[in-house]
Amino acid sequence: MTDRPPIFFVHIMKTGGTTVQKMIRYRLPEMRVFPNNIEDPNRLVAHVNIPYLRGIPAERVQRTRVFAGHFPYIATKMLGCEVQTMTLLRDPVERVISHLKHHHRQEGGFTHWSRELREISNPTLQQLYNDQLLKPMFFLNHQMRIFSINEQDECGSFLQKTPVDESRLEAACRNIEQVDCVGLLDDLEDFRLEINQHFQLHTRPVKRSNEATNKVEVPQSLRDQIAEDNRLDIEFYKFAAALHRKRRGAAEPQSSSASA
């Protein structure tokens, strides 16, 4: 048990978060992590369902060192206690392409929810991107949406549709400023060292997890369409990247004495 507030990792899909979880969990007992394989038999529910998160007993909240699931940022306010926060972001176009390739491998996920996709034996990336079920959940301004969902939206999970507009972008930027550690996938080792120092964790470098190995070609027209559709997410990422650089620059004079 520790007097330090628990860590809440806002794990956005296809940003490298599984790798980060391996970094921070390898020395933690299973019962000190949420979700875990002992207390949470329904993996999907435990990773995304906000009422399930809010319903865990106070005793479990108190003994948990790290919360990590695919929850919107607002969930960090729902545990009834102070938390330390961290998140990892990725170039929006590359994130969407990575997610498309994940579905293209047909190794699980939510592809089977779509009636149209079930009727296609080997959908192209463009067909996956155009799917009206998957697109609003995963491919449209996703990172910004995770940080703009609010309590008034009454979301059961991030899978629920929520508005996306300029006011939501402003809210997302305000929220990302409140996060203790903001990392970028392009600078993953820097993020690892930052969470070591900020949270007094002992992490280790690990091999990237869940990297797409299928070498399917991504048409330039699809890249251009993703960029156009994700204009707000690109603005959000630029804001977060500038915040990351500013914080890193401010920390550099003392970084030589920081313990890993």
Q: What is the pLDDT of residue 202?
A: 80
Give pTM, 2 decimals. Answer: 0.90
Closest Cα partner for 203 from 9, 24, 66?
Answer: 24
Q: What is the pLDDT of residue 260?
A: 26
Query: Mean pLDDT for each 10-residue chunk of the chain (260 residues)?
Result: 84 95 89 96 95 96 96 97 97 97 70 76 90 93 98 94 95 98 94 92 73 78 98 98 91 45
**How many beta carbons lie within 10 A of that of residue 259, not counting itself?**
8
Per-residue model confidence (pLDDT) at position 158 = 95
Residue 128 in tokens:
């996956």
What is the model's pLDDT at position 1?
A: 46
